[in-house]
Structure 1
Amino acid sequence: MFGSKPKKSEITYIAKGTSVTGTMYFDGDTLVSGSLQGDIHADCGISIEPNGIIDGQLRCVELKVSGVFRGKVSCEKLIITESGTVEGEVFSTSMEIFEGGQFIGVRVKEQVNLLDEVPSLLKNATPTQKLSFETD
């Protein structure tokens, strides 16, 4: 999906109306149309859809924002589309902002102090232990 890393077969989809809070780990590409809040680590790419929101600390390979991201992010590539908004502190090797996209914050030269490694308990947890969520 995102091309920076070898593709994995798993895609996680957080649907509109779904809200997840806590510490999260995704080992495949992730599409967010709902809401994520907390500390997030992803081994691949995350795409925030137009209705999606992420609020917290995020470490991923590639972040594509068509919705809203608030917080601190560390990634190789950040893409803000024409409907996307990023508010906060960003560390990225490359950054692309399409006309209409908004970046409100600061881009830092040094790595943002975030989750460097996924806690082993989280990485080895069963799927039901990894996430707890609510739907509207």
Structure 2
Amino acid sequence: MIAAGTVFDGSLELSCNLHVDGEVTGTIRCLAEVTIGRKGTISGDLEANKMVVSGLFDGKCSVNSLEICKTGRVLGEMRAMELVVAKGGHFRGQCIEREETAEAEAESVEAADNMEQDKAPSQA
């Protein structure tokens, strides 16, 4: 957690959730969820599984899921597989649909193939 009144400038690499009520400038790489509280700000580049914005994000982000809450403001370039903007939330910039990773696609194809094989009548 980056508490209110805290200013951080630099790089963060995390495997756990991050909640920002203070101010972060720099690069964030998070395997989990990044939440920006109402008074929180992040400026820079961000990669995460999910980002929930109630404060301000200004920069570039690449996420699986981006949720902009009613008090949230997002400025910049976003890459997301899923985008949710609540009534009152603001987005200004460019949003590009993020494609699944090659590994996730391969797993999906393999699972579909296995399902088809399970459905096929057995030949004895």
Deviates more, 1:102-111 or 1:39-48: 102-111
Match of 1:50, SS state, is: coil
- Rg (Cα) greater in structure: 2
Structure 1 letter corresponding to 2:36: I
* Larger RCO: 1 or 2 (CA < 8 Å, sep 6+): 1
Question: How big is the shift at 1:110?
Answer: 5.3
Runs of 5+ unmatched residues, structure 2: 100-124
Tell me which of 7, 32, 38 is aligned to 1:50. Answer: 38
**Whole-angstrom CA distance in 2 between matches of 1:66 and 1:109:** 22
String of CA shifts for 1:54-112, please: whole Å, max 9, x gaps.
Answer: 0000000000000000000000000000000000000000000000000000102357x
Equivalent residue, structure 2, for 1:63: 51
Runs of 5+ unmatched residues, structure 1: 1-12, 112-136
Deviates more, 1:18-27 or 1:56-65: 18-27
Equivalent residue, structure 2, for 1:126: none
Counterparts of residues 1-136 of structure 1 (less than 5 Å):
13-109=1-97
* Structure 1: 4+ residue segments shifted above 2 A: none
Match of 2:88, SS state, is: coil
**Whole-angstrom CA distance in 2 between matches of 1:61 and 1:99:** 23
CA RMSD after TM alignment: 1.0
Which structure dedicates a bigger proportion of its chain to helix?
A: 2
Equivalent residue, structure 2, for 1:114: none
Q: TM-score, normalised by structure 2?
A: 0.77
Q: TM-score, normalised by structure 1?
A: 0.71
Preserved CA contact (<8 Å) 2:64 2:98 = no
Preserved CA contact (<8 Å) 2:28 2:45 = yes
Structure 2 letter corresponding to 1:71: G
